[in-house]
Structure 1
Amino acid sequence: MARRQSDRRAAGDGGAVVNPHLPSREDILRFISENPDQAGKREIAKAFSLKGGDRIWLKDMLRQMQDEGLLKQKRRRLSRPGALPPMAVLDIFSRDAEGGLLARPAEAEDEEGPVPLVSIRTQKGRRMSAAGVGDRVLARVFPSKDETGPAYTGRVVKVFEKRRRAVLGVFRELRDGSFRIEPVERRQPELVVEEAYRNNAKEGDLVEVEPLSQGRYGLPRAKVLDVVGSIATEKAVSLIAIHAHEIPHIFPESVLREAEAAKPATLAGREDWRKLPLVTIDPPDAKDHDDAVYAEPDRDEKNPGGVLVTVAIADVAYYVRPDSALDREALNRGNSVYFPDRVVPMLPERISNDLCSLREGEARPALAVRMRFSAEGRKLGHSFHRVMMRSAARLSYEQAQAAIDGRPDDKSGPLLETVLRPLWEAYSVLKRGREAREPLELDLPERKIILKPDGTVDRVVVPPRLDAHKLIEEFMIQANVAAAEALEANRQPLVYRIHDAPSLAKQESLREFLASLEISLAHGAALRPAQFNRILARVAGTEQEQLVNEVVLRSQSQAIYARENVGHFGLNLRRYAHFTSPIRRYADLIVHRALITAHQFGEDGLRQQDEERLEEISALISATERRAMAAERETVDRLIAEHLASRVNEEFSARISGVTKAGLFVLLPQYGADGFVPISSLGDDYYIFDEARHALVGQRSGCGFQLGDSVNVRLLEVAPLAGAMRFEVLSEPTRLPGSSKSFHKSRRGLARKQKRSSRPGVRGRR
């Protein structure tokens, strides 16, 4: 790019003239907008021919532009706030005046402001009907040169989530003989169905319906398209989430035929590890076992106190070949989805629970990594192997832990000295390395729903966090690191698991919140997990502990899959790739194929045409992961709401888990489920939303409710199918740290404005 010849003046330098060939801010912003794929510091410097001291100037200028909000940095690429990546998941929502398709990002970015629009263009020779309104698509996105229209144009790469106009509901027959559709979504209205549009649906059926044109008066009408099943049957609650999120759950016949035709792997081309006493350690109800472990002291005199750790992972790539029916369906699903009452697997049971599962006493193919650690827990080296193994034992976490704690049973007892103790000794070594690395240590207990035989909730428990869990977790992390390092060393493209540092906007929001608790967070310096850990340690054991853990969690970016590496902030690792669960994650299968290619283990590795699609695949599997998380969360909400439906008007202990302008979200710790408290029910004071402190503050009293507060609530209303519960707070508001009259005076104008607002749920009761 040609240099600008006009004088450049550095911002904030008092007007001093600098190198006249330096680009202006407008030049830099224009280059970044026009070249989203080449917007790193190095590429910008090259484009403007900046060398030596000019590069230092550029670094300072880019940092200043980030601080001012003109730029954001993500995955070593700079972009304008609100800018879209070159490959994006979009929802097509409308057409423009000329009939062209308009789309917007499937998920909003962290930054506030208008959502950028994308004009979908078609390639010559293709009809517009390849994608339509309501579709979710993967598209290549380009900045638009037309300043009067949408900011971007896009070209559809794949339509991967066809959306019908249908909605889900439960068919109800009223006493007067009329029919209604009870909604399963919180924002969905009740619908009326006429006899002609019933389509043989019966009371209690879960149905797909198409909304019809609505008249001027009365409820909207609909017609039944399909009967999904009865809501009275087991697993009906997860069935709602499966259909609502369009999760593929029935394998095509071609996939099942291919799975049934698969033959067990042979020893050809593999090392024979069948005598090595690898063991699997999993939950007691696990059906597939894709990882096995073994450890021993390092006998090398040059590594005193060191250990050798071996992790063997099921060789799924041997059975699931590129472009096969199994492969296409696995990519379509992206990952297995885990509900309290069922699992929707990525692969058929013939593959996941039989041929690939590392069953006790049976020969199974595997990809294995042998890692060498120093006594301080630092990884000194690793090697990958394609092997045939035989699991010496299938153990549960509790079973292995009991043996170490002095309570071995008939299965774990014979393995205690030869297998289990060396594993725990190796873990103690790896733990030193973890402590030195200082990953983010959030204290957020996980809950598990125990169901009755009829599929309803029996109880909710918090499983104990055992050393056995931590051992397997740390072994798997190190195996994932080794996979990424090995592929990088071989210059082999792969899919990384990345977790970016918190955005500048989230850092500033967190900084303001911590300041209200008189806790400082440094400006300017690049944040590290250790800084968060020191903050968490400072509040440990105090009333603010849960609150600060929640806010720190909310400040974090979302982990995704990507071809380009930026490291994993939460784990504090420079490179990280998912390798250890190919039975349930497509990302791991890609990494396995890459390792096979890099180490020349066979002909079933990653092909060049697959490498060219890694960016597309990364976007797809990141989207299916988010889809699975949403479906799993909604199913838990529905199960708990159904469980508590008979306890309306009872009182519960709760914790405030979210604060919005409309009210409070409260979490019932005993059940791990959320409900809502409208702001209008909070009392006689007028409550103002304080975003920085995550609080609703009374205008007159200065007292209020803050994220993390423990409160007593009464359950007022339950909508089981929607997973929604409404509560009222019984506890009195409390004086919040840092609240003052000056705060309320500064918000008085906002309060008067809100009083005039007619939006429901915003005004407090006066």
Structure 2
Amino acid sequence: MRAPEPSREAILDFIETEREAGREVGRREIAKAFGLDAGGKIWLKRLLRELDEEGATSGDGVERPVHPRGALPPVLLSEIKSKDRDGDLVAAPLEWNVTDDGEPPRILIERPREFRSKRAAPAAGVGDQVLLKLTRLRGVDGFAYSGRVLKIMGKGKAQILGIFRALPDGSGRLVPIDKKAQGREALIPRGQTGEAQDGDLVSVALARETRFGPPEARVRERLGSIKSERAVSLIAIHSHGIPHIFQPATLAEAEAVKPAGTAGREDWRELDLITIDPADAKDHDDAVHAAPDPDPDNPGGHVVTVAIADVSAYVRPGSALDREALERGNSVYFPDRVVPMLPERISNDLCSLRQDEDRPALAVRLVLKADGTKKHHSFHRILMRSSAKLSYQQAQAAIDGKPDAVTGPIRDSILMPLWAAYGVAARARDGRQPLDLDLPERKLVLKPDGAVERVIVPERLAAHRLIEEFMILANVAAAETLEKHGSILIYRCHDEPSLEKMRALGEVLASIGIKLPKDGALRPVLFNRILAMIKGSENELLLNEVILRTQAQAEYVAENYGHFGLNLRRYAHFTSPIRRYADLIVHRALIAALKAGEDGLPRATTLAELREVATRISAAERRAMAAERETTDRLIAHFLADQIGSSFDGRIGGVNRAGLFVKLDDTGADGFIPASTIGADYYRYDEAAHALIGERSGESWRLGDRVHVRLVEAAPVAGALRFELLSEGRRVTPGRSGTRAARPPLPARGKGKASFGPAGRKKPGRRR
């Protein structure tokens, strides 16, 4: 007889109790606790969805942890905001969506105490970013949690960053770099300017606020000159606290490393592995090879080999190299520079798979069937020698019948088998139906002095997709092998879109006459069908961008809940340990699980420790993404600063009460049009229609509309642009939210193509 289903209250009480005890709780744990059978699990999944929709919980409960709405995980990256009246430090989550989740919980920082090792807890202060171990307080004295500082991630300097502008009397003023602070400058009196020169990037401390006029400040630190665009990335590096200077101990350790030999490795130097990378790549951490499978039991099959630089041979757990790599989390890519995760001695030398040079690697041999599905795979610790270094364009040209001196001799023997194997792998990918977005990937081409010369959309080649698909296969194989051996690891997970975001997508689709299905499981194929419906239409680019915004952000976790975008049940980053710490952890776990050496993941490593690492490197990734995006915005603003008064075509990429956000076609630059500058009418914000609508005229401006604008202001330091409208809006009946076009939209400009994101490649792109 089937057990009765528990009440909603019982489910919520169980979730609350488990979370207070510091245990992760998901659908599996709930089902086990209440003895639910297969039918009960289906009921539970539906109930958890309802609770999430009602705001009672957060997390879908399918695989990932579920917790009460507003509750926090046991380990959390936070920022110390202030001190209370008793002098105790008060923190808040570093990332918190006030719109979705209300005000962030207040966290009382526990005062430092001695641990068993007699080592004092880290001493934190206001402005610091800290990793906390949380305990639920149930609102004691207004605090939802107390937190013990596990590690200080970044010391707060209580600083404001800006550009110093010298005044004739020896004083100065600070032009803030934050877009939100534009127009709110600070005065720097004589004697408080330090060694700052006109045009320097400086950090200042506010000396005093005044009721009228700008505040006064003093220069704390001169960070460097930004008189040329080449130094624009300095702003992002300092404002986001990105470590960019290696410690002496780290550099000394890197220089002392000796090249790895054949000991403990299989000799694969005769295998014709090759690297295919961007033309300007300085390091090469992955190589590929493919050949028809000689096994008569696998007709039409292929053997694909993916070899990845063996960083774990040089970066040992607990070493200075390891500690700094974890602190950085990943390499950060700016248009004018790279802030690497590892010193060049490691990343550009010992671990770069250079042509005709012996290099240690961790390789996976994948046997594919004729339909592209994987028959089996195996991992090997090897010594390899790359046979050729190719760019994507070189490889593609050879396949297209235009080989050069390098690709001509290897076209038939190496390149054609690779493309044949990719052909069958692509069949399996198409059957899996991952999310397939089509958005332009713009690249800034810089002049020798660092200024932007032009903005281009690189062509999306089959060579890109080949490498991407082979990297995905290798990443899946790594996760499967570690799960088979019962090893802990760090997964790369991507949640399905939230109900709120799906409702917003439904509203956008309804505005162009498409109905979003409400029944059935949410799968990437749903989005692919929508994209196929609007392909070639005026709404194609708009819907690609809206669907991208609908997606959750991928993250690193120690407990798997799958990858929605790639439509994979298990996925781990394995293919780029030179630039991502997560991949280094996976390499070490494989070495330990396969007993392939003494430099694997230490046996004493716990799941709790990997949770902490996953939290840290996820935060480092978000930091890098923000810094890269802001630097691109600033460089494009520099590029357009001398084009004030010029007109451009673009599209409305966002609408709110304050005005319109416009993305230009040619450069991809984003700018703002204040609502107060749009005609002589009062424009009402219609949230459902994603539009501003004139109360008297009925003129409307809607998300996705084509526009012609004039650039009226550029603030390069902040990366901010302001436009004015030159074209007319749609006409609607005043008081109604439906819109009707007054004329055909402007023709769309050129586009580039990109899939859901590169797998383990060296340029940032959209991160899976």
Residues 348 and 215 of structure 1: is their aligned pair in 2 closer, same or farther, counting only changes over 3 Å? same
Q: Distance in 1 between matches of 2:711 and 2:563?
A: 41
Q: Select the residue among 176, 180, 193 that pairs with 2:173.
A: 180
Q: Which runs of 5+ in 1 are unaligned?
A: 1-18, 746-766
Q: Distance in 2 between matches of 1:454 and 1:553?
A: 34
Q: What is the Cα deviation at residue 99 of structure 1?
A: 2.5
Residues 693 and 375 of structure 1: is their aligned pair in 2 closer, same or farther, counting only changes over 3 Å? farther
- Aligned residue for 1:97? 85
Q: What is the Cα deviation at residue 663 of structure 1?
A: 1.2
- Match of 1:610, SS state, is coil
Q: What is the Cα deviation at residue 91 of structure 1?
A: 1.4
- Aligned residue for 1:205? 200
Q: Select the residue among 108, 111, 124 that pairs with 1:119.
A: 108
- Aligned residue for 2:263? 268
Q: Distance in 2 between matches of 1:146 and 1:176?
A: 54
Residues 55 and 324 of structure 1: is their aligned pair in 2 closer, same or farther, counting only changes over 3 Å? closer
Q: What is the Cα deviation at residue 89 of structure 1?
A: 1.4
TM norm structure 1 = 0.91
Residues 706 and 730 of structure 1: is their aligned pair in 2 closer, same or farther, counting only changes over 3 Å? same
Q: What is the Cα deviation at residue 571 of structure 1?
A: 0.6
The answer to whether structure 1 residue 193 and structure 2 residue 169 are counterparts is no
Alignment of 1:237-316 (within 5 A): 237-316=232-311
Q: What is the Cα deviation at residue 58 of structure 1?
A: 4.6
- What are the Cα deviations for residues 485-521 of structure 1, in whole angstroms up to 9, with x where unaligned? 1111111110000000011221222223222322222
- Aligned residue for 1:139? 132
Q: Distance in 2 between matches of 1:67 and 1:241?
A: 37
- Aligned residue for 2:11? 28
- What are the Cα deviations for residues 623-666 of structure 1, in whole angstroms up to 9, with x where unaligned? 00000111111111111111111111111111112222211111
- Aligned residue for 2:57? 71
Contact 1:702/1:744 (<8 A) preserved:
no
The answer to whether structure 1 residue 155 and structure 2 residue 148 are counterparts is yes
Contact 1:699/1:744 (<8 A) preserved:
no
- Aligned residue for 2:714? 718
Q: Distance in 1 between matches of 2:385 and 2:365?
A: 16
Q: What is the Cα deviation at residue 263 of structure 1?
A: 0.5
Residues 357 and 414 of structure 1: is their aligned pair in 2 closer, same or farther, counting only changes over 3 Å? same
Q: What is the Cα deviation at residue 740 of structure 1?
A: 7.6
- Match of 2:661, SS state, is strand
Of the structure 1 ranges 509-518 and 707-716, higher mean CA displacement relative to structure 2 is found in: 509-518
Residues 711 and 146 of structure 1: is their aligned pair in 2 closer, same or farther, counting only changes over 3 Å? closer
- Match of 1:671, SS state, is coil
Q: What is the Cα deviation at residue 270 of structure 1?
A: 0.3
Contact 2:114/2:121 (<8 A) preserved:
no
Residues 721 and 56 of structure 1: is their aligned pair in 2 closer, same or farther, counting only changes over 3 Å? closer
Contact 1:494/1:611 (<8 A) preserved:
no
- Match of 1:145, SS state, is strand
Q: Distance in 1 between matches of 2:13 and 2:510?
A: 37
- Aligned residue for 1:751? none
Q: Distance in 1 between matches of 2:139 and 2:339?
A: 45
Of the structure 1 ranges 529-538 and 46-55, higher mean CA displacement relative to structure 2 is found in: 46-55
Alignment of 1:668-747 (within 5 A): 668-735=664-731, 741-743=735-737
The answer to whether structure 1 residue 505 and structure 2 residue 511 are counterparts is no
The answer to whether structure 1 residue 337 and structure 2 residue 320 are counterparts is no
Residues 692 and 107 of structure 1: is their aligned pair in 2 closer, same or farther, counting only changes over 3 Å? farther
- Match of 1:196, SS state, is coil
Of the structure 1 ranges 93-102 and 475-484, higher mean CA displacement relative to structure 2 is found in: 93-102
Q: What is the Cα deviation at residue 133 of structure 1?
A: 1.5
- What are the Cα deviations for residues 160-212 of structure 1, in whole angstroms up to 9, with x where unaligned? 01110122222212245431122222233312112211212222222221111
RMSD: 2.2
Of the structure 1 ranges 457-466 and 226-235, higher mean CA displacement relative to structure 2 is found in: 226-235
- Match of 2:481, SS state, is helix
- What are the Cα deviations for residues 375-427 of structure 1, in whole angstroms up to 9, with x where unaligned? 11111110000000000010000011111111111111110000000011111
Residues 79 and 374 of structure 1: is their aligned pair in 2 closer, same or farther, counting only changes over 3 Å? same
Residues 295 and 205 of structure 1: is their aligned pair in 2 closer, same or farther, counting only changes over 3 Å? same
- Aligned residue for 1:665? 661
- Aligned residue for 1:13? none
Residues 129 and 569 of structure 1: is their aligned pair in 2 closer, same or farther, counting only changes over 3 Å? closer
Q: What is the Cα deviation at residue 55 of structure 1?
A: 5.9
Q: Distance in 2 between matches of 1:55 and 1:503?
A: 21
Q: Which runs of 5+ in 2 are unaligned?
A: 740-768
TM norm structure 2 = 0.91
Contact 2:312/2:584 (<8 A) preserved:
yes
Residues 495 and 128 of structure 1: is their aligned pair in 2 closer, same or farther, counting only changes over 3 Å? closer
Contact 1:251/1:348 (<8 A) preserved:
yes
Q: Distance in 1 between matches of 2:559 and 2:734?
A: 47
Q: Distance in 2 between matches of 1:620 and 1:21?
A: 42
Contact 2:302/2:367 (<8 A) preserved:
yes
- What are the Cα deviations for residues 41-89 of structure 1, in whole angstroms up to 9, with x where unaligned? 3433444566687666655543433343322324432222332222221
Alignment of 1:617-628 (within 5 A): 617-628=613-624
Contact 1:34/1:143 (<8 A) preserved:
no
- Match of 1:608, SS state, is coil
Alignment of 1:346-361 (within 5 A): 346-361=341-356
Contact 2:685/2:691 (<8 A) preserved:
yes
Q: What is the Cα deviation at residue 542 of structure 1?
A: 1.1
Q: Distance in 2 between matches of 1:426 and 1:554?
A: 33
Residues 46 and 383 of structure 1: is their aligned pair in 2 closer, same or farther, counting only changes over 3 Å? closer
Q: What is the Cα deviation at residue 147 of structure 1?
A: 5.5
- Aligned residue for 1:165? 158
Contact 1:190/1:219 (<8 A) preserved:
yes
Q: How many residues align?
A: 725
- Aligned residue for 2:756? none
| Residue identity matched to 1:87 | V
Q: What is the Cα deviation at residue 669 of structure 1?
A: 2.3
Residues 144 and 48 of structure 1: is their aligned pair in 2 closer, same or farther, counting only changes over 3 Å? farther
Q: What is the Cα deviation at residue 34 of structure 1?
A: 2.8
